[in-house]
Amino acid sequence: MDIDFVRSRFIKHFDGSTGSVYTSPGRINLIGEHTDYNGGFVFPGAIDKGMIAELKINGTNKVRAYSIDMKDYVEFGLNEEDAPRTSWARYIFGVCREIIKRGGKIAGFNTAFAGDVPLGAGMSSSAALESTYAYALNDMFNCGIDKFELAKIGQATEHNYCGVMCGIMDQFASIFGKAEHLIRLDCRSLEYQYFPFDPQGYRLVLLDSVVKHELASSAYNDRRKSCENVVAAIQKRHPHVEFLRDADMAMLDEVKAEISAEDYMRAEYVIGEVQRVLDVCDALERGDYETVGQKMYETHHGMSKLYEVSCEELDFLNDIAKACGVTGSRVMGGGFGGCTINLVKNELYDAFVEKAKVEYKNKYGRLPKVYDVVISDGARKLC
């Protein structure tokens, strides 16, 4: 994404003047899927794709916002009743309101923004947008809000203004991202730790299946319920178990007769996944990317066969990765469509991507989208 391009649009729409330019990235999650609501760990990293926005205080009580990608202009006030109807503008409005609720003083500003985070590919374009404005407004208006609270402002924007009850991972990764590092975030305590991720001789590539299956939200709720059912059963014997993160396979086996086969399978996946995140952290500290890759394949198998949130297309892409000798591959995100994330040796990269394109098109009649990603820094001011 080009600062000069965003600036040229800002100048064109706002009387030839310039402001300050800020950016925040999208994110990937290397491993740790469906662990967040089970009190476990996630393991995201910021990527080299994100949002760039230029902002300038305009001396009024109105925000004048231009979406370069949508070619759309919206103006709104800063009071609760001024909420815009346009969905992209609600993200900016929500961030303003959440800062004001926390005692931040914000006035009107002009802004234009654009992004290169692919929409709908599970790289959190909305979190990148929220984090860009949270970081920028905090900086411009000297609100003195810490980075943790900036991530929570993005999350609260989703909850209160966009109708999405998301966790904290996406905004956290966008604000706290660090080049050549992944972040292990404990979803219960919100403690975090950086781990080195600089895989010399490997590349990270996402293959987007370009499908989104409709059952995602109801299936997500069903799986949360399964996890809660198992915790309730285990708690009768082990009162300290608050989340599946606190349980182990021995505890799960103790209650096998008291829960459904389906609930057992769901819990087996989660308990395994919580441990896999810790195993991957250990492997990265040793620089052992082969073990990292093996754990990614184990996660895909669990998401496909135990948690049942994969789909035929994602399983197909995972099988191609295996056949090509790719080090690690798994479905990334909630499932039922979206991308696989693949850790690929440099010398296998071209053959893998070509084979995936050809075979996927032959089977499904369309090409998968290919996104190379590099682990990069979080929210910051550019100029």
Query: Where in the sequence numbering do the catalytic residues fall?
Result: 170
Pairing label, strands 20-29, 41-42: unpaired
Residue 166 is classified by DSSP as: -
364: three-class secondary structure by DSSP:
helix
Q: Which conformational region is residue 243 in: left (phi greater than 0), alpha (psi within -120 to 50 degrees), or beta?
A: beta
CA–CA dist 311, 119 (Å, integer):
20
Rg of the Cα atoms in the chain:
22
Q: Is residue 179 a contact partner of residue 373, using CB atoms and an 8 Å limit?
A: no
Q: Percent helix, strand, coil in the chain (nearest 5)?
A: 45, 25, 30
Calpha distance 121→154 (Å, rounded):
19
In DSSP terms, 28 is beta-bridged to 45
- In eight-state DSSP terms, residue 121 is S
Tokens of 15: 């009387």
Q: Does an H or E element contain 342, and which?
A: strand 337-345
Burial class (CB in 10 A: 0-12, 13-18, 19+), 108: middle
Residues 295 and 276: their CA atoms lie apart, in Å, by 6
**Do 218 and 351 touch, CB atoms closer than 8 A?**
no
The kind and range of the H/E element at 52 are strand 44-57
Residue reference for tokens 């990270």: 204
**C-beta separation of 293 from 327 below 8 A:** yes
